[in-house]
Amino acid sequence: MVRQYKKKTERGTTPLMVMEEAARRVIDEKRSLRTVASEFDINFMTLQRFCAKIRSGGQPSVGYATPRAVFRNDQEQLLVKYIKRASELYYCLTPDDVRKLAYEYASINSVQVPQNWVTNKKAGADWFTSFSQRHSSLSIRTPEEVPSLPTGIKTTPEMIRPFNEAAPRQKKIGGRKRPRSSISTSTPERHRLQEEHLAKEAKNPKIDIKKRTKKATKRNLAFTDETNTHASDNHCLLCYDNSRSEEVWVKCTGCRKWAHEACTDRSIPYVCDFCKD
């Protein structure tokens, strides 16, 4: 069989509205069949058969019948829409997958198929070639809504091989606040950061270390170049007591130990009684 047959004539291409108007003039106006066929550029035998169908009460149609077609037009359109949707969802179907899907679709819908379909469990290569030529828009990626099922169709390709749907995304409760990307050196952004910093400080005020407790201070009366370090963990050389609040300490120039100023004779430089002895 010729795979790509090209018609030699234009028969069967006349629109249905033109055929109905020509048949009306022949039947209602009682005009000559050949005259009307010549006016509308229609083959007179085609017009004669069309008028005979109308007189017999049948439903006339135009074009040539397709006795070898496997699917009806509405069934084939559903198959096309399934393939388009699979392409949109990156669920790629190879030609072999489409042929297997067509066979499963025909079997479930009780469509009569050629014997080689039943033997190979998939549609034939010639059917797939013709199917691709009839529907050259299969590469279109735009979303298309699948309408309701036409009359007489109980099963669609999507019912045979449904798409896997992802679980609904759960919204996180709480968690870290997502920061914004901005230029920190700009004047409005700097003001915003300063306001956020002041609001944070007002919410969590810092404790002033100077106002928390007044530490005992020490004064080195003998060596003014040394640093007055705090020795709250030392004992007084004379009374063996620890430091008290706002207490002044002095250091012995001999043993270099500390003592309360109130316990000494306040002499400068100070030398303890142990060093004097």
Any idea where the domains of the chain sit in the sequence?
Answer: 16-55, 73-160, 215-277
Distance CA 258, CA 218 (A): 9
Question: Does the domain spanning 215-277 belong to CATH 3.30.40.10?
Answer: yes
What's the pTM value of the predicted model, to 2 decimals?
Answer: 0.39
pLDDT confidence tier of residue 130, bands split at 50, 70 and 90? confident
* Overall average pLDDT of the 246-262 stretch: 79
Q: How far is CA 242 from CA 12, 209, 234, in A?
A: 119, 21, 6
Q: Give the max Cα distance, the chain.
A: 158
Report, as an integer, the average pLDDT of 74-87. 88
Rounded to 10 deg, the angle between the 73-88 and 95-108 helix axes is: 140
Distances (CA, A) of 209 to 6, 33, 243, 248, 267: 99, 115, 19, 20, 34
Q: Are 272 and 238 in contact (CB under 8 A)?
A: yes
8 versus 127: the higher-pLDDT residue is 127
Percentage of the chain lying above the pLDDT 90 cut: 11
Spell out the residues 6+ positions from residue 225 whose beta carbon is closer than 8 angstroms to its own.
none
Token representation of residue 15 = 């629109």
pLDDT at 72: 86
Provide the mean pLDDT of the chain.
Answer: 75
Q: In the block, which residue shows the tokens 């388009």?
A: 84
**Strand ranges of the sheet holding 217-218, from the earlier edge strand across to the other edge:** 217-218, 248-251, 258-260
User: What is the pLDDT, as a whole number, of residue 67?
Assistant: 66
Of 274, 244, 277, residue with least CA distance to 260: 244
- d(CA 128, CA 114) in angstroms, rounded, equals 13
Question: In this structure, are residues 238 and 264 in contact, taking their beta carbons and an 8 Å threshold?
Answer: yes
Q: How confident is the model at residue 195 (pLDDT cuts 50, 70, 90)?
A: confident
Distance CA 205, CA 198 (A): 10
- Per-residue model confidence as pLDDT tens digits over 224-251: 333 344 444 567 777 777 766 667 778 8
Give residue-wise pLDDT tens across range 131-164. 888 888 775 444 445 555 566 666 777 777 777 7
Selected residue with higher pLDDT from 39 and 224: 39
